[in-house]
Chains A and B, each alone.
Chain A
Amino acid sequence: MSAYPEPTGPLLETAGLSKHYGGVRAVDELDLEIRTGETLGVIGPNGAGKSTLIGLLSGAIRPSAGVIRFEGEDVTGLPSHRRARLGIGRTHQIPQPFGRMSVLDNLMLGRLYSAGSGYREARRESLGILERTGLAPFAGTLAGELTLLRLKRLELARALALRPRLLLLDEIGAGLVESELAELIDLIKGLRSEVDSILVVEHVIDLIRECSDRVVVLDWGKMLIDGEPEEVLADAKVTAVYLGTGTTQALAPARAAEAASEPAKPLLAARGVTAAYGSFRALHDVSLHVYPGEIVTLLGANGAGKTTTARVLSGMLAPTGGEIVFKGRRIDGLRPHSIVRLGVAHCMEGRRIFSDLTAEENLTLAGRTARSAAERDARLTAVYDLFPVLKKRRGSPGANLSGGQQQMLALGRALMAGPELVIFDEISLGLAPVVVDSLYEALAELNAHGVAMLVIEQNVERGLALADRAYVLEKGVVALSGRPDEIRGDPRLRALYVGEAKGES
């Protein structure tokens, strides 16, 4: 850390900053200081008020009380465009692109308004920022056509186009594999010479540890602790409310014995499946099988075809070749609702809760495959047993649930179909480690009731800890498969995972 200039006085400070939504205090009397020259990490459980804090600082959200000072000036009453021109730039946790504009034009705006560049100059400088953030090949693409990860990259690029003095980053590291994360960390470190201060909200602890000079932990809108990264991350309170154990080790040994006696007939078998988006071939040759009651993990770099595989298996995307058999019946080419009826549920990436419906309505809607009301109620009870918090919040609209509760709801919704096999796609994305722990415990419990699972997971260790068997995808082909212990020891896993991702971004 000594390579950086010594942090000095505050660039921004808040006093008694509060935001209340009805009776909920999202941010509660927060006194925060962002010093000139520092990178401040902000961590905390889902619903701790981190994104609200960023909204308050950028001017998108009006505070209920308190003061925000930027360079000593009171900016509390300034609308967001005035703050952007002062040099406060932000990214959004859920990307907010200008969808029908090219990626390049998305950046132009910040250059033209806040950085005060001329049109040609703005164009050249924007291309430079795209180059740096790895988006140059997509300069002419409509932003709405980018994948989630590239949209997150675009958020960063767009904030940089403001030529910000204070950069507020809201979970830009989610969903990245190690090599991509390393690149992002380098990028953020490289920004320190041109941006005065950076505030990083993140669940990816490695990024926080590598980039921050100081870490603040928020819990229920209040500051829990403020200090040096290592000291904060080692704190017992932080472990309790936020970090959790970070592993799912208890499961693996118990399952190893069972897995030894594999039944001969797979529940689900995919053979030589190919799939494409337009002219882009996403899957070249994917063969995999899941036996009854088994947990299979699907690993691979971003863009390797994991989500596409899930979409093909659940009927969301029609395969262009190969065959998929579930319980002896061909299901490739069937519509998603027919596949669900047969017993394959899909818990999609990105939660996709019906935000206006209550938690219980979300669940009952998914219970339509039940043959009777009694059967549906039994399933509902089972979901509530698995996630008691959902029962407590059954009457709340989906939009009002915290991130972790929403993900539980998404899981519960998949289970309401009464499946024999569930496909879980990236259920840990954007969740606090301690919440991920509880989700994985729920998966294990679910599996103990005999439900087979195909789990797509970014975190290799977590994925392998849970699995009976694992497949590793590379460029739309199964590159490696086997038992977790075999795979974990295979040097090709690391090479594939890390090497492949480099070519990707």
Chain B
Amino acid sequence: MHEVFAATPARLRAARLVSAAGLVALAIALATMPAFASDYTLLVCFKIFKYAALAQAWNLLAGYGGLVSLGSAAFIGIGAYTTAKLTIATGVPLIPAMALGGVTAAIFAALVSPALFRLRGLYFVIATLALASAAQIWMVNWNGLGGASGLYLTVSAPTTRGVYYMSLVIMAAATVLVAGVLRTRLGISLRAVRDNEDAAQEMGLWPFRTKLWAFGLSAAVMGVVGGLQAARLSVIEPYGSFSLQWTIDIVNIAIIGGLGTVSGPLVGAVFVVWLGERLADYPELHVAITGALLILVIRFAPYGLWGSLLRLKGETIWSRLRRRS
């Protein structure tokens, strides 16, 4: 977010051109990947994209809005169940059903926000955790949606290529959404509410509405990912769909990657999923290493691995430019 004023327009243009070219190359590589990559690689990519989209959504809420929610699992679960029930009961095709999963999750977010937004800081964090936990317990005990045994989807599960492309699109959409929001009034409002809610209100902004937008948008992305997960698994049950593990993984990825940057969650997802695959045979070691890494990042690189690198780079370019001028 540092604006480098001394950077000349020519240099900025060159930098933009290089990064645009890089993005195009990356897009082509990702789009053509299924043509030559193995199913295993594609499924690892699916995992990365899925988590990147989730972390991106959480980043909007927590990194930019300062609303540290531990309720992610509730929105993922709601998206999964909405998608499952709609396809089973009404025969709606998968993709519209996933979209409606996102909508339902956003509506749920809007319904609980009047109560949640009364709380600030740690109280908000705990309330969201309690909310997710309550949602899971409800789903286990309520037989309307299959209770503890869950639901079996009737639509045929998408192919490996199918989930690859769907997750790629969701990740790209989530990233464009967050990057876009940051350029609007909402982006500035969110950061202002994060830094000082009362002062923001005295500038004429109604914090409730700002928080509601962020909460709703992030819930929608999580709901859509939940729907995709349901389709991929073909069978869903509350212990998996509403699992606290989702919430923890998302926080890990966003923090290790770097909160409050658009690229941080993407890099974090690549890194954490890659690490998980390398250590797939040693699950205890995986948990221990991720935990240790998280502590080290929080202590020594508070802007995340990628975020800290960006800052470092930004500062050196900045000081170099200054020395020349």
Contact = CB atoms under 8 A, between A and B. Distances in A.
Q: A and B bound?
A: yes
Interface of A: 58-60, 79-81, 84-85, 89-90, 92, 96-102, 104-106, 108-110, 112-114, 119, 139-140, 142, 158, 161-162, 279
B304 to A, nearest CB: 14
Nearest to B187: A105
Given A112-B185, A139-B5, A79 B201 contact: yes
B7 to A, nearest CB: 10
Contacts of A60: 198, 201-202
Interface string B1-36: 111110000000000000000000000000000000
Q: Which of A59, A109, A110 has the most CB of B within 10 A?
A: A109
Nearest to B199: A96
A100 B196 CA distance: 10
B191 A90 contact: no
B204 A101 contact: no
A98 B202 contact: no
A133 B208 CA distance: 31
A81 B195 contact: no
B202 A84 contact: yes
Nearest to A168: B202
Contacts of B260: 100
Contact of B206 (A81, A89, A142): A81
B199 A162 contact: no
Nearest to A107: B203
A99 B195 contact: yes
Interface string B166-190: 0000000000000000001100110
Interface of B: 1-5, 184-185, 188-189, 191-192, 194-196, 198-207, 260, 319
B8 to A, nearest CB: 15
Given A92-B199, A97-B195, A109-B188, A102 B1 contact: yes
A483 B309 CA distance: 53
A114 B203 contact: yes
Given A112-B185, A119-B185, A139-B5, A98 B204 contact: no
Nearest to A116: B204
A112 B203 CA distance: 9
Contacts of B2: 102, 140, 142
Contact of A114 (B1, B192, B204, B319): B204
Given A89-B202, A100-B191, A102-B3, 7 more contacts: A99-B195, A104-B3, A108-B188, A112-B189, A119-B185, A142-B2, A162-B204
Contacts of A96: 196, 198-199
B185 A98 contact: no
A140 B3 contact: yes
B203 A110 contact: yes
A80 B201 contact: yes
B38 to A, nearest CB: 43
B201 A81 contact: yes
A98 B191 contact: yes
A358 B297 CA distance: 36
Contacts of B3: 102, 104, 139-140
A323 B206 CA distance: 54
A140 B195 contact: no
Given A81-B202, A109-B203, A98 B5 contact: no
Contact of B203 (A100, A102, A158): A158
B163 to A, nearest CB: 37
Closest 5 CB pairs of A and B: A114-B204, A113-B204, A84-B204, A98-B195, A140-B3
A92 B5 CA distance: 29
A98 B188 CA distance: 10
A113 B199 CA distance: 13
B1 A59 contact: no
A84 B204 CA distance: 5
B258 to A, nearest CB: 13
Contact of A101 (B192, B201, B205): B192
A84 B205 CA distance: 8
B198 A113 contact: no
Contacts of A139: 3, 5
B196 A98 contact: yes
B199 A98 contact: yes
A110 B200 CA distance: 9
A8 B4 CA distance: 48
A108 B184 CA distance: 11
A118 to B, nearest CB: 10
Contacts of B5: 139-140
A89 B199 CA distance: 11
Contacts of B4: 140
7 contacts: A81-B201, A96-B199, A100-B1, A112-B188, A114-B204, A162-B203, A162-B204
Contacts of B207: 81
Contacts of A161: 203
Contacts of B200: 98, 109
B204 A100 contact: no
B241 to A, nearest CB: 35
Nearest to A105: B188
A97 B205 contact: no
A59 B202 contact: yes
Contacts of A112: 185, 188-189
Contacts of A101: 1, 188, 191-192, 195
Contacts of A59: 202
Given A97-B196, A98-B191, A102-B1, A110 B204 contact: yes
A81 B205 contact: yes
A139 B207 CA distance: 25
